[in-house]
Amino acid sequence: MAKIIVVTSGKGGVGKTTTSASFATGLAARGKKTVVIDFDVGLRNLDLIMGCERRVVFDFVNVIQGEANLRQALIKDKNNENLSILAASQTRDKDALSEEGVEKVLNDLAKEFDYIVCDSPAGIERGAHLAMYFADEALVVTNPEVSSVRDSDRVLGLLSSKTHKSEKGEGRVREHLVLTRYNPVRVEKGEMLSVKDVQDILAIPLLGVIPEASAVLTASNSGAPVILDQNNEAGQAYDDLVARFLGEDRPHRFVEVQKKGFLSKLFGG
């Protein structure tokens, strides 16, 4: 049975698409057949971050509206055959998504894939609602600042009340906290909320802390999910996150200020 995982946050620009891309890539790298869907109809981004924007012919909305079949619309990742991408339409808006249509596409994908990752748009309106509606699990992406935390809290409320699972009384969506853009130095100075502060407010299990790193932006611009860069802290943190999601026990890294050793001081590492 395929698992549907929504990557959501409420607030925009916190790293949902970055997380979706790296998470899906990480699952595929571990041999799981994975598809990642861009629900941000009208503001298509995922294809850029996955580096497949030049290969988009048909998109999610085409499939929902019966203008193309799934096989035509799914884009296979260049590097990993376990990974497919379903791009959003750039020319339509979120009204083009219907609950029945989304359900049918997800059911069809479930026959073929182990994991279906839904990259939610920001906000709590139609697109975000449909992205989370059929989810089994949710990665709630939060930045260590108060407005992001409050929006995530709002989204957690919706996950517990406005999803298929909760409305049908089939249990609840399993929630995971993903704290992105974390900078221990700034936390220590009191400029950012700490992991503990955020957990205290949201009270859900922590899946991963992704450190603030310039490599994330570079990766996005070059169309290679940052998890592929295992020399980088953010890439390593995403790898830990995927391992933890699949049940491995890994300690959280990059949450404390690193003491600089003699050599790194010397070489500015």
Partner 1 sequence: MTKSRPALEFKGRMLSITRVRILDENPTAIEAQLKTFTRSLGEAAEGLPLLLDAESPVGLKPILAAMRAVGVQPIAVVEGPLSEAARECGLAILTRDMISDGAPRASAPVESVRAAPAPAATPVAPAERRPARVVTEPIRSGQQIYAEASDLIVMTTVSPGAEVIADGCVHVYGPLRGRAIAGARGDVHARVFCRRMEAELMAVAGIYAVADQMKGALRGVAVQAYLKHGVLTIDKLDW
Min CB(203)–partner 1 separation in Å? 6
Min CB(240)–partner 1 separation in Å? 26
Q: Is 147 in the site for partner 1 (CB under 8 A)?
A: no
Residue 14 is labelled as binding a ligand: yes
Segment 61-100, which members bind partner 1 (CB under 8 A)? 65, 95-96, 98
174-182 β-sheet, strand order: 75-76, 83-86, 34-38, 115-119, 3-8, 137-142, 174-182, 206-211
Stretch that binds partner 1, among 15-23, 107-115, 195-203, 222-230 (CB under 8 A): 195-203
CA angle (241 as vertex; 235, 243 as ends), nearest 5: 105
Q: Is 167 in the site for partner 1 (CB under 8 A)?
A: no
Which position among 153, 183, 252, 253 is part of the footprint of partner 1 (CB under 8 A)? 153
Pairing of strands 83-86, 3-8: unpaired
Q: What is the amino acid identity at position 8?
A: T
In this complex, which beta carbon is closest to partner 1, that of residue 93 or of residue 248? 93
**Rounded to the nearest 5°, which phi and psi values hold at 17?**
-70, -40
Which stretches of 40-183 are assigned E, i.e. beta strand? 75-76, 83-86, 115-119, 137-142, 174-182
Residue 17 is labelled as binding a ligand: yes
Total Cβ atoms within 10 A of residue 233: 18
CB 11 within 8 A of CB 152: yes
Segment 200-219, which members bind partner 1 (CB under 8 A)? 200-201, 203
Q: What is the amino acid identity at position 80?
A: N
Stretch that binds partner 1, among 35-43, 199-207, 217-225, 257-265 (CB under 8 A): 199-207
Q: What is the amino acid identity at position 4?
A: I
| Whole-number Å distance between alpha carbons of 7 and 49 | 15
Which position among 79, 157, 167, 246 is part of the footprint of partner 1 (CB under 8 A)? 157
Min CB(123)–partner 1 separation in Å? 13
Q: Quick one: how far is CA 29 from the chain centroid?
A: 16
Q: Is 131 in the site for partner 1 (CB under 8 A)?
A: no
Q: Is 196 in the site for partner 1 (CB under 8 A)?
A: no
Angle between helices 126-133 and 99-110 (to 10 degrees): 40
Stretch that binds partner 1, among 52-60, 180-188, 197-205, 224-232 (CB under 8 A): 197-205
Min CB(153)–partner 1 separation in Å? 4
Q: Which parts of this chain interact with partner 1 (CB under 8 A)? A: 65, 95-96, 98, 150-151, 153-154, 156-158, 160-161, 200-201, 203
Indicate the annotated binding residues. Answer: 11-18
